[in-house]
A and B are shown apart, each in its own frame.
Chain A
Amino acid sequence: MAAIFQGIGATTALSSINSLDSKRFRLSSHRLLSGGKGSFFVVRSDGRSKPGPNPRGRRPEQLITNAVATKADSSAASTTSKPGHELLLFEALREGLEEEMDRDPCVCVIGEDVGHYGGSYKVTKGLATKYGDLRVLDTPIAENSFTGMAIGAAMTGLRPIVEGMNMGFLLLAFNQISNNCGMLHYTSGGQFKIPVVIRGPGGVGRQLGAEHSQRLESYFQSIPGIQMVACSTPYNAKGLMKAAIRSENPVILFEHVLLYNLKERIPDEDYVLNLEEAEMVRPGEHITILTYSRMRYHVMQAAKTLVNKGYDPEVIDIRSLKPFDLYTIGNSVKKTHRVLIVEECMRTGGIGASLTAAISENFHDYLDAPIVCLSSQDVPTPYAGTLEDWTVVQPAQIVAAVQQLCQ
C-alpha cells in the first residue's frame, strides 16, 4: 500500500513510497488492523526523505495517541456474526463517554447543565449520579473561563471533556481554544500536553435561528495543534468519542443537532476508531462524493436517485476534518477521477474550500473535471423554514451536480 505525496520546492517529486505503517499498532483489548492501511512518507525540511520509525517497537504508552480497529471488520461483525445492540446516537456518545470514565479516573466532563440536568441533548444523562458532581461538573454560563479551566486542568494531567451546549457558544472561548489549547504544547517546547476534548452540537437545525445554527469547523480549522473530527452515525460517534478521549492532543468533536436521534445497531465489544481516517460509505466507480456529518444523509438520499439514473457514486464520509485523510480520498480520486464535495459549512473559507485546495494540489493529474464543492450559502441562517432549507445543500442539488460533472 502506498501513499503518494508531492514534494514542494527543492525536494524532488517523490513517487510511491511505502515506509511507515503508522496505523498498525495494538491496544490491549483491540484487534490489530488487518493489512497495511496507511503509510506516510516523512519529508523533512532539508529535502532528504527518510522513512519514519516502525511503530511496532514502540512503548505501549505512545500507542494511545491513535486508535485502532477497522470499520470493515466491526461493521461486518455488527451486522452478521455478533448480535450487537441498538441505540440512538446520543446514547452511543454517552456509552463511549461512560466507558472511558470507567476506564480512567482522570476523565471528567465540564459543561453547562451536564450534571443534574443530564445534558441539553441527554448525552451526559445519569453520569452525575454515577460519578459525582466533581467529575461531571455543572458550570455557570461562562464558556471562556470554563474552557480555560479545562485546559488548565489538562495541563496537570486530567482529561476533561468540555461540552459546549451549542458549538456556537464556543466562539466565546476562541481565545482559550486557539492560544492555550492548540499552541501550549508547542510554545512550552513539548512540556505540556493538553488532552482535552471539546464537543458539542452544531450545524443547521430546525429553524433555530442564525446564532444557533453555526458551523464552527471553518473557524477552528486553521488553529495549529488541534484535531477536528465530525461524527455522523452512532457507530462512529462512539468510536470517535473514545478515540478523542484517549488522544493526547486536543480534539474537537463536532456533533450535529439533527443527528442525535439516529438509531443504529453497534457492536457490543469495545472498539475505538481512528481519529484521522475517513469512512467509505458506498464504494463506486463514477464519481467521488466527499461529505461529513449531516450532509452524509443528503448525499445518500441523492445516491439512491443517482443509482436509479444509472450513476455509481462513491461516497466517503471524511470524518476527520483536520487532518484530512488524503490517503483514502486519494485512492478514490485515482479510481473515479471526479470529485464532488458536499458540506454544510459556508462557502467562504469552509472545510470544502480547504479540501478542494488539498485535492487540487495533491491529485491534480488524476482529475478529469474541476472539483465541485457544494456548500451552504454565505448567509446567516434564516428562521423561515423554506429559506432555511435553501441555505443548506439539498439532495436535488447534489443529483444535478453529479449529472453535470459526469457528462
Chain B
Amino acid sequence: MALTHRSSNLLRPFTTAVFSSTPSLRRPFSSSADDTTTITIETSVPFTGHKCDPPSRSVETSPKELMTFFRDMAKMRRMEIAADSLYKAKLIRGFCHLYDGQEAVAVGMEAAITKKDCIITAYRDHCIYLGRGGTLLECFSELMGRQGGCSKGKGGSMHFYKKDSGFYGGHGIVGAQVPLGCGLAFAQKYSKDETVSFALYGDGAANQGQLFEALNMAALWDLPAILVCENNHYGMGTAEWRAAKSPAYYKRGDYVPGLKVDGMDALAVKQACKFAKEHALKNGPIILEMDTYRYHGHSMSDPGSTYRTRDEISGVRQERDPVERIRKLILSHELATEKELKDIEKEVRKEVDEAIAQAKESPMPDPSELFTNVYVKGYGVEAFGADRKEVRAVLP
C-alpha cells in the first residue's frame, strides 16, 4: 500500500528548525511576570500566501505569553489523555474526538483575538472550549453526561458551547458549521461590531459543497469570516491525497486569499490569526490552512494506525510536537528552568485529576431535563410533540 507515499512530507520541512531571538533577560520564571519584555521569535517555517502577501516570520511575544502557552497546552494535552482513559473506562460514551497534537491552533488563535470574536468548530472541540475560557470541570462533566456540564449533559463531546465568550460549538455534521460561521460573520457585519468569526473545519470537510457556497457568499458581501482548515492530513481514515484532487486547501478559495501556516507552532498560528483578523475586517474572507497533526485516531473507536504508520506518528511527535517546541523555546530563553516546567506539568495533572474526581461525583441530569430547552418558553409547558403533551413516557 502506498501508506508511506506522503508521510515523509509531514516531517520534511521541519528539520531545518531555527530559533533566533534577541537576547532575553536572564530571570527565573517566578519573577518574570513582566509583560513588557518582548521576545521576537522567528517561526521555523515561512508562511505561504495565495493572493495575499504573507505576514512576516518574526513574531513578537513575551515571557508571560510563552508561559501561558505552555501551561494551556499542557492542560489541553493532559485533558485529552485523561479523556482517553475515561473513555476506555466507559465513563465517556458515544463519540470522543481528541485534539492532542493540535493544541497549538487553539492557543495560538486565542492569543490573537478577543472573546468578542467568535469561534465555531466541528466536533473536535474540547480544547477550543477550554481555550475560550471553559473550565476542566465543565468539560469533564459534559463528557460524562452530568448536569454540571457546559450543555447540561445534553450535548456530549460534540456539543460544547460557551455563548458568553463567543464559542459557538461543537457540531456533529461535517461541514455544517461553516455556513453557521459565515452567519456569525454576517451578524457581526450587520451590527457593525468590528469583530471577526473563525470557522474551523478539517481537511475532510474541505470537500463539502456548503463550504464553497458559504465562501462565495462571504466573499460577495465582504463578511469578516476567517475559514480555518485544520489540516491534520486524514479525514477519518482517508488521507488527504486520496480525498482531494488539490490538497492545497489554502488555495481552494480561488478568488479568496489564503495562507498556509505551520499549525504545530503556536506563535505562527498567533501571527497568522492576527494577520487574518486585520485582513477580514478590511477585505473580507480569508482562508487559513493550519498544517497540523493528531496523534490519536479520528475518534476513540479508531486506533489511528490502520491508515498511517506508527513511525509517522512518533516521528511527528518527536520533531514537531507543539508543547515540546514551546518548552524548548522557554528553556533556550531561560524563562524558566526544567524543574519549573515539570512542576507546571505536575500542577496541571493534579488540576485535571481533581476535575475528573469532582465530575465523577457530580449528579446526572434530572429526568425532567429531558423536556427542558426543547423550546424557548417561559411558562409551564416545556416541550410538546404533535399533541402538546408534556410526557410521552414515564422514566424509571
Assuming A145-B214, A155-B168, is B179 touching A176 (CB within 8 A)? yes
Interface hit among B94-102, B253-261, B297-305, B380-388: B380-388
Q: Judge whether A187 is part of the interface by a CB distance below 8 angstroms.
A: yes
Closest Cβ–Cβ distance, residue B128 to chain A (whole Å) = 15
Interface contact A145-B161, CB-CB below 8 Å: no
Q: Judge whether B322 is part of the interface by a CB distance below 8 angstroms.
A: no
Q: Judge whether B187 is part of the interface by a CB distance below 8 angstroms.
A: yes
- How many Å lie between the Cα of A358 and that of B180 in the bound state? 35
Q: Judge whether B151 is part of the interface by a CB distance below 8 angstroms.
A: yes
- Chain B residues within 8 Å of A307, by CB: none
| Most chain B Cβ neighbours within 10 Å, of A8, A45, A142, A149 | A149
Q: Judge whether A207 is part of the interface by a CB distance below 8 angstroms.
A: no
Q: Judge whether A190 is part of the interface by a CB distance below 8 angstroms.
A: yes
| Most chain A Cβ neighbours within 10 Å, of B186, B217, B371, B377 | B186
Q: Which of B171, B183, B367, B388 is close to A150, meaning CB atoms less than 8 Å apart?
A: B183
Q: Judge whether A126 is part of the interface by a CB distance below 8 angstroms.
A: no
Interface contact A186-B173, CB-CB below 8 Å: no
Q: Which of B176, B179, B367, B389 is close to A146, meaning CB atoms less than 8 Å apart?
A: B179
Interface contact B184-A324, CB-CB below 8 Å: no
Q: Judge whether A262 is part of the interface by a CB distance below 8 angstroms.
A: no
Interface contact A187-B187, CB-CB below 8 Å: no
| Most chain B Cβ neighbours within 10 Å, of A20, A43, A144, A157 | A144
Interface contact A156-B184, CB-CB below 8 Å: yes
- Chain B residues within 8 Å of A348, by CB: none
Q: Which of B153, B154, B159, B213 is close to A142, meaning CB atoms less than 8 Å apart?
A: B213
Q: Which of B209, B368, B376, B386 is close to A46, meaning CB atoms less than 8 Å apart?
A: B368
Residues 173 to 206 of chain B near chain A (Cβ within 8 Å)? 173, 176, 178-184, 186-191
Interface contact A62-B378, CB-CB below 8 Å: yes
Interface hit among A47-55, A93-101, A373-381, A396-404: A47-55
- Chain B residues within 8 Å of A149, by CB: 179-180, 182-183, 186, 214, 217
- How many Å lie between the Cα of A40 and that of B391 in the bound state? 12
Assuming A22-B380, A134-B190, A187-B159, is B180 touching A180 (CB within 8 A)? yes
Residues 36 to 71 of chain A near chain B (Cβ within 8 Å)? 40, 42-47, 51-53, 55, 58-59, 62-63, 65
Interface contact B180-A55, CB-CB below 8 Å: no
- How many Å lie between the Cα of A335 and that of B178 in the bound state? 53
| Most chain A Cβ neighbours within 10 Å, of B367, B383, B384 | B384
Interface contact B163-A45, CB-CB below 8 Å: no
Interface contact B213-A188, CB-CB below 8 Å: no
Assuming A45-B370, A140-B217, A225-B374, is B161 touching A192 (CB within 8 A)? yes
- How many Å lie between the Cα of A142 and that of B218 in the bound state? 12
Interface contact A187-B378, CB-CB below 8 Å: no
Assuming A40-B380, A43-B390, A153-B184, is B155 touching A187 (CB within 8 A)? yes
Q: Which of B150, B214, B220, B381 is close to A148, meaning CB atoms less than 8 Å apart?
A: B214
- Chain A residues within 8 Å of B154, by CB: 186-187, 189
Closest Cβ–Cβ distance, residue A391 to chain B (whole Å) = 24
- How many Å lie between the Cα of A7 and that of B152 in the bound state? 28
Q: Judge whether A249 is part of the interface by a CB distance below 8 angstroms.
A: yes
Q: Judge whether B90 is part of the interface by a CB distance below 8 angstroms.
A: no
Closest Cβ–Cβ distance, residue B358 to chain A (whole Å) = 19
Interface contact A156-B187, CB-CB below 8 Å: yes
Q: Judge whether B283 is part of the interface by a CB distance below 8 angstroms.
A: no
- Chain A residues within 8 Å of B163, by CB: 188, 191-192
Q: B149 — nearest CB in chain A belongs to which residue? A: A189
- Chain A residues within 8 Å of B386, by CB: 221, 322-324, 354-355, 357-358
Closest Cβ–Cβ distance, residue A348 to chain B (whole Å) = 16
Interface contact B216-A323, CB-CB below 8 Å: no
Interface contact A155-B184, CB-CB below 8 Å: yes
Closest Cβ–Cβ distance, residue B236 to chain A (whole Å) = 19
| Most chain A Cβ neighbours within 10 Å, of B169, B187, B368 | B187
- Chain B residues within 8 Å of A331, by CB: none
Interface contact A140-B220, CB-CB below 8 Å: yes
Q: Judge whether B264 is part of the interface by a CB distance below 8 angstroms.
A: no
Q: List 22 A-B contacts (CB under 8 A).
A: A9-B394, A19-B380, A45-B393, A144-B179, A146-B217, A148-B176, A149-B180, A152-B184, A152-B187, A153-B186, A153-B190, A179-B173, A185-B374, A187-B170, A189-B150, A190-B373, A191-B161, A225-B374, A249-B377, A323-B386, A324-B388, A326-B387
The 8 closest A-B pairs by CB, nearest first: A52-B380, A152-B183, A148-B179, A62-B378, A152-B180, A189-B152, A142-B213, A149-B183
